[in-house]
Amino acid sequence: MCLGIPGKITAITDAARLMAMADVSGVRREVNVACITGDDPSALIGQWALIHVGFAMSLIDEDEAAKTLEALRDLGEAQETLNQMAASDKALAAGVET
């Protein structure tokens, strides 16, 4: 299974190599846009794409990007709660009060 994270293409960094800068939840990273570009890579600026291991895999609309980011935030919060519960259970099993 692979997970694509929504990122917004903010600039083309190397048109010859089809590289662009993407903003992924406030983190900027360079990604390859070969899978999503046409004749003019600069047309991608402002577009949302699913980013996976340094590649923009497919274009998505802004609404889909927002929904996906919200779901990922919710999963992160749920995982944090599960981690806290597990730590509490370990402490209780060891006889330590939390």
Q: At CB < 8 A and 24+ separation, what contacts does 63-72 make?
A: 64/6, 65/6, 65/8, 68/5, 68/6, 69/6, 69/25, 72/5
Position 96 scores a pLDDT of 64
pTM value is 0.77
Contact (CB, 8 A) for 29 and 13: no
In the CATH hierarchy, which fold is given to the domain comprising 5-93? Answer: SH3 type barrels. (2.30.30)
Instruction: Print pLDDT tens along the chain (98 aa).
Output: 567 899 999 999 999 999 999 998 889 999 999 999 998 999 999 999 999 999 999 999 999 999 998 888 888 877 777 777 778 778 788 876 55
Contact (CB, 8 A) for 50 and 4: yes
Domain ranges of the chain: 5-93
